[in-house]
A and B are shown apart, each in its own frame.
Chain A
Amino acid sequence: MIVLGCAVLAHPGVTLFCGLLSFLCYDFFLVPPVFTLQVSSPIQLIDPLAFLSVAVVTCIMAERSRRRTIQAAIYREADELRGTLLNLVSHNLRTPLAIVKTALTSVLALNTMPSESRMLLLDANEETDRLNRLISNVLQLSKLDAHAVQIDKDWNSLDEVISIVFRRWPEAIQDKSLTAQFPDDLPLLNFDFALIEAVLTNLTENAFRHGCPPVRINVIVQEAEVWTVVEDRGKGIPPQHRSQLFQPFSTSKASGIGLGLAVCKGLIEAHGGRLWATFDPTRFIFALPLVAYPEETIDDASADR
């Protein structure tokens, strides 16, 4: 008991000393011949070893748990600090961006300028949206690094995610350069809506920027998984870039900073899924586990049929 107490509360040296002391006491009071430190048979030499090893083991265990507690406290503090910083950065970057975006769209809405100038403003507006998405990516990546992304899973439908992603490219929907196909009876899946939306937005944007329209999103059920395939008609990714594709800051284009794919992979894996690419034509595929939807939750929806 004393050994344990020392291990938890005091220095490892004290614990070892207690181990030794308890052996000596045991020997002095209980081992014949009693009241001496002598031993009558070599078998009794096992006892000091047992006492010492108990002391060493408890000592190591206690030390480990102590370090873990201290480390957890440090991580917690660092996470809190990081959270505050991320919020600050996100606020400070988004506010000027908000000014630029509202100003640009206001001028565009007036509809009073020659078409050349209008095209310039449209480009600027598009890049503002891209900058906003990049900020989201950087924030997401630093959260992933810090293991600070909270996965908030719920039973969601993938077609609703697609519909939200589609709203970002209304022109592409109009001219059919962005289309989607999914099974009519696609079940609800257990995932974090906002995070999967971020992944699909990233993959779709990559397909438009680095590939070539039309961009097609196909959802298929593959055994115990649901695959979402994002495919474009571009020239594909140069072979030398393929192996590094999912590394942060790797990119095949001088203009990109290659954050998106690293973030996407992290987010999908955090869902117990996989993200990979196949080439010729370029396809990015993420698989989410197909888990049976708990029956009791649909009772209400089907009760009144």
Chain B
Amino acid sequence: MTHLLIVDDEKHFRTMLVRALKSQGYRATAIDDAYALASAVAIHRPDMVLLDLLFESGTSGLEMCRNLRTWNPVPVIIVSVSSDEATKIQALDAGADDYIVKPFGIEELLARVHAIQRRLARTVTSDTALKIGDLVVELDVPSVTVHGKVTHLTRNEHKLLKALVIAEGQPVSYSALLSHIYGRGADKKGERSAIRVLVKQLRRKLGEDLSNPVYLLTEAGVGYRFNMNPALRAIG
């Protein structure tokens, strides 16, 4: 049974989330301050951590996440009321695997939990191609098969697709994509638009409906994520 550790200083939210997760068949433990995150992870050995960002005690969830990353690989999902793009980017930079903005539906949270679990389960693989829904993404050759038809990709389109597919459904920030495609980490605004142009080209080649893409999803202000499970629809 997947065990989740909830770190949130809102007592009612904490209690409800434990109850909600238990009702969905998960094991859940909760603590009220990220200050105790390290010891709680050591004692409870959770499979995943759901971490709030701001604590009344003044503890910073981001800092605790960064600390945790130095010694433990347990996946972290940031759970916060802040929908601010800069905060989301900081969360990913601090080593969080994903984030979710309150208020959220339980199915959104579980979709993210499943995505991380799938990624962990697939880590050891020497596949040269990945089958995702109607797509077969070649990892070594710049091409993709859409509905059985092979489509050639440009070098940069392929790099973009590969970076997203390898992240297995986790959001990939603009700066990560820029460094992956162009070999530089600078995330200047003018450079983000180069990624947007590439994304549009790639979406067309994947046969996406631009107003309602199934695979290549926009994470507004943050970057993109690849929906590895198109049967389950998009997650906000």
Contact = CB atoms under 8 A, between A and B. Distances in A.
Interface of A: 90-91, 94-107, 109-110, 125, 128, 132, 154-157, 159-160, 162-164, 166-168, 170, 173, 179-180, 182, 188, 193-194, 197, 217, 293-294, 296-305
Contact of A294 (B10, B190, B200, B234): B190
Given A102-B106, A163-B210, 5 more contacts: A104-B105, A109-B107, A110-B24, A155-B192, A179-B211
B220 interface: yes
Contacts of A125: 105
B60 interface: no
Contact of A194 (B17, B217, B220): B220
B211 A168 contact: no
Contacts of A301: 156, 194-195, 197-198, 201
A101 B108 CA distance: 11
A102 B105 contact: yes
A106 B234 contact: no
A106 B106 CA distance: 6
Contacts of A163: 210-213, 217-218
Contacts of A105: 105-107
A53 to B, nearest CB: 50
Interface residues of B, number: 48
A95 B79 CA distance: 11
Contacts of A197: 220
A118 to B, nearest CB: 15
A158 to B, nearest CB: 10
A188 B193 contact: yes
B154 interface: yes
Q: For the complex, would chain A's binding face be called helix, strand, loop or mixed by DSSP majority?
A: helix
B197 A159 contact: no
Contacts of B85: 194
B24 A106 contact: yes
B16 A103 contact: yes
Interface in B193-224: 193-201, 210-213, 217-218, 220-221
Contacts of A101: 103-105
A106 B211 contact: no
- Pick the most buried of A102, A109, A293: most chain B CB atoms within 10 A of its CB: A102
Contacts of B201: 301
A194 B220 CA distance: 7
Given A90-B81, A99-B16, A155-B193, A304 B156 contact: yes
Contacts of A154: 189, 192-193
A185 to B, nearest CB: 10
Interface string B1-41: 00000000010110011011001100000000000000000
B154 A167 contact: no
Given A95-B81, A163-B218, A298-B194, A102 B212 contact: no
B44 interface: no
B155 interface: yes
B193 A97 contact: no
Contact of A182 (B156, B211, B213): B211
B194 to A, nearest CB: 4
Interface string B221-235: 100000000000110
B104 A160 contact: no
B23 A102 contact: no
A217 B195 CA distance: 25
A214 to B, nearest CB: 14
B197 A302 contact: yes
A94 B194 contact: no
Contact of B20 (A103, A302, A303): A103
B149 interface: no
A194 B236 contact: no
A99 B103 CA distance: 7
Contact of B103 (A128, A298, A299, A300): A128
A157 B24 contact: no
Chain B CB count within 10 A is highest, among A90, A91, A107, A217, for: A91
B84 to A, nearest CB: 9
Nearest to A296: B190
B211 A298 contact: no
A264 to B, nearest CB: 18
